[in-house]
């Protein structure tokens, strides 16, 4: 069975500082990985995804993530955060490309930016 662990429930950082949100997954088969962002009182929107190819994936708003198969990790990074990045971030995994396969979400990491 697949699972996703987001190691930090909350991450406070200062504006313009770098940030890393950690995500580890477990799966016995090939995986596809996602990061979603949820701004206050909104639904989730896709930040980036890894399906295959280059292990460094670039997303919207200056975020990037690196797929590390040996460490079963998919950590999200941004070199310099802004107040507008305040949101909750969810890591997700699926093992199937078809729409019938389920996507499993982590419990979320709340990123708070201090001025």
Q: Is 63 in contact with 4 (CB distance < 8 Å)?
A: no
Q: Which residues in 73-92 contact other proteins (CB under 8 A)?
A: 90
- Using alpha carbons only, what angle is made at residue 84 by residues 81 and 87, rounded to the nearest 5 degrees? 90
Alpha carbon separation from 92 to 33, 72, 115 (Å, rounded)? 6, 13, 29
Binding-site member from 24, 108, 111, 113 for other proteins (CB under 8 A): 108
Give the single-character DSSP code of 79: S
Binding mask 40-79 for other proteins (x = CB under 8 A): --xxxxx--x-x----------------------------
Binding site for other proteins (CB under 8 A): 6, 9, 32, 34, 36, 42-46, 49, 51, 90, 94, 97-100, 102-103, 105-108
């Amino acid at each position: 069975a697949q699972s996703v662990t987001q190691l930090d429930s909350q991450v406070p950082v200062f504006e313009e500082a770098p940030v890393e949100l950690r995500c580890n997954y477990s799966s016995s088969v090939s995986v596809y990985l996602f990061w979603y962002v949820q701004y206050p009182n909104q639904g989730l929107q896709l930040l980036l995804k890894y399906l295959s190819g280059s292990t460094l994936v670039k997303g919207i708003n200056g975020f990037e993530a690196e797929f590390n198969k040996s460490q079963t990790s998919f950590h999200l990074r941004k070199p310099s955060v802004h107040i507008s990045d305040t949101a909750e971030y969810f890591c997700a995994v699926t093992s199937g490309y078809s729409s019938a396969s389920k996507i499993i979400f982590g419990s979320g990491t709340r990123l708070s930016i201090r001025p």
